[in-house]
Amino acid sequence: MAHSHQPSDRHFDHCPWLFAEEASEEQRAAQRERQAEIDGDSEIGERCFVAGSAAVFPDRLRLGDDSYIAAHAYVTGELTTGADCTLNPFTTVRGTVALGAGVRVGAHTSLLGFNHLMAPDRPVFRQPLSSRGITVGDDVWIGSHVVVVDGVTIGDHCVIGAGSVVTRDLPPWTVAAGNPARALRDRRDGGRGAAGRGRADKDPLPLRGFADMARTQAAEILARCWDGERYVDRPGAQATVRAHCDAVEIADLLLGAVPGQLTADAHIERLASAQDAVSGLVPEWGDPAPVAETDGFTGEGPALYHVLSVGYALDLLGSSFPHPVRGVRDMTARQLVARLEALPWRSGAWEAGAWIDAWATAAHWNGAPEPGSVEALFGWLLTRADPWSGMWGEPSAREGRLQVVNGYYRLTRGSFAQYGVPVPHPERVVDAVLDHARDVRYFGAGQENACNVLDVAHPLWLCGRQSGAGAGGDGYRAGEIRAWAERQLSATLPRWRSGEGFAFGPGTSPGLQGTEMWLAIIWYLADLAGRSPELGYRPLGVHRPEAARAR
């Protein structure tokens, strides 16, 4: 006669998948007590199991339904899992680790979402720790004896071979193995290998994973660029006003908060007090106050761009300039038109566009410029746009359309886009901008910098909204616009440097300016491809897509 045998607690520790079906009521009660005893901020879902022999000492634990932590696992730090996740015997999970749904982690595998620094000024055991975190997508199988190091993102549906060491991000559907792990093939290809499929029939680029990774590293990037007193664009550089503003923009975009180096009030006080009370302009740190202009707004240099960067940083902080920009406030419509006529449209269309950007933004912050001035600006621009290109200025044999396209971005950003006024000849602009985007001097492999890509992406987005080609629509040349955006995303996302952000362009180091600009560019590119919701962020500062809020 056969006898039933009740599995022991030790048996369930090593085979936790049996617990839901075979545990006695007494064992279930003991498991509830076991889960209640876990220290730290913990929330454990339905039908979960945590082995009695597992060392689970988290700061924060979120265990999804139907998940388990098996015998002798070691869990510290912050662990978040989706449903149906399994940490098998002797797994180590430390630091900040986020698992999607349906993740299988093999025995003796280590997910190490933290690291030691190793500066030569002190022994390793006295070094501080850093943590960028590990993110694993849905439906991922990580084999036994694998090591995943800090800062790595593993995309949905990946399979990682036993004994691998994962040091770099892996896109969705990757089958990877080795030390360091490398992609062997696409999981959907059977034996055909990674070259067997084209980009078009694969899952799109992992925008959600990129954005999540950027969020986990944002605080580290900001701290890296704080010299103890002020923000610098990158370690070793001079402190600048723009670096402070870029820090505010990055923190707002990725964290929905202010940079942690100062309180919100301290950020506001430092930026607002930098404005010269007489001219209303903001000089660079340590520079003399700008000369107050009595015959119109003719500012130049950093003070001109600070109208944008400081104004929007204060806006994000819930504040505003304490003083009006005098040269714009006092400029009559007649003076404005004279200045517009004198701008260097033939030799420096970018310079002309940048001046209009600063003037129109200052008028926005001032709230009440001289009567008729803003109307005069739009009237002049609308009657001077070239009907063949929709732009202002002329291409040159030496630079092609670079000055004209880049000047168009600056001009329309501050005027038409910021005030919510439709641009003239949007389809002709699309033609001109797409033609410029084929210029290999600026868009050849590895040649792109943040300004040049932004100055194509924004006009395509702005004009696409009027022609029906935006956000994946079917308007004028929409397919070409989406294809260009996807190519740029493919080139841009891998340029992120873990813990450092983006460099502005080739030959430069990662810093706050490059990071702020490329994050905004990625949003525009993703929106052109109809995929911006995957990022979970939307620019609200200098590069905001919507018209500025009425003041």
pLDDT confidence band for 319 (50 / 70 / 90): very high
Angle between helices 373-384 and 349-366 (to 10 degrees): 150
Tens of pLDDT, residue by residue over 87-146, are 999 999 999 999 999 999 999 999 999 887 777 777 877 777 777 889 999 999 999 999
pLDDT of residue 204: 47
pTM of the model: 0.65
The pLDDT assigned to 56 comes to 93
Number of Cβ atoms within 10 Å of the Cβ of 288: 8
Q: Which helix (H) or strand (E) holds 366?
A: helix 349-366
What band does 549 get if pLDDT is binned at 50, 70 and 90? low
Instruction: Report the distance separating Cα 291 and Cα 298, nearest Å.
Output: 10
Q: Report whether pLDDT(210) > 60.
A: yes
Classify 124 as helix, strand or coil.
helix
180 preceded by cis ω (within 30°)?
Answer: yes
DSSP bridge pairs for 69: 50, 87
pLDDT of amino acid 114: 87
Q: Is the pLDDT of residue 460 over 50?
A: yes
Q: Calculate mean pLDDT across residues 516-526.
A: 97
Residue with tokens 């986020």: 98
What ranges make up the beta strands (E) of 29-162?
A: 41-44, 49-50, 55-63, 68-69, 74-80, 86-87, 92-99, 104-105, 110-113, 115-116, 129-130, 134-136, 141-142, 147-148, 153-154, 159-160
Q: Look at residue 468 in the predicted model and tell me its pLDDT.
A: 62
CA–CA dist 438, 402 (Å, integer): 11
Taken in order 118, 121, 127, 131, the sign of the CA dihedral is negative
Count how many residues are written for the chain.
551
Q: What is the pLDDT of residue 190?
A: 53
Two structure tokens written together for 321: 């300039």
Secondary structure class of 428 (helix, strand, coil): helix
Determine if residue 228 is left, alpha or beta; phi over 0 gives left, psi from -120 to 50 gives alpha, anything else beta.
left
Q: If pLDDT is split at 50, 70 and 90, which confidence band does 292 have?
A: low
How confident is the prediction for the chain on average, in pLDDT? 89
The answer to whether the CB of 280 falls within 8 A of the CB of 325 is yes
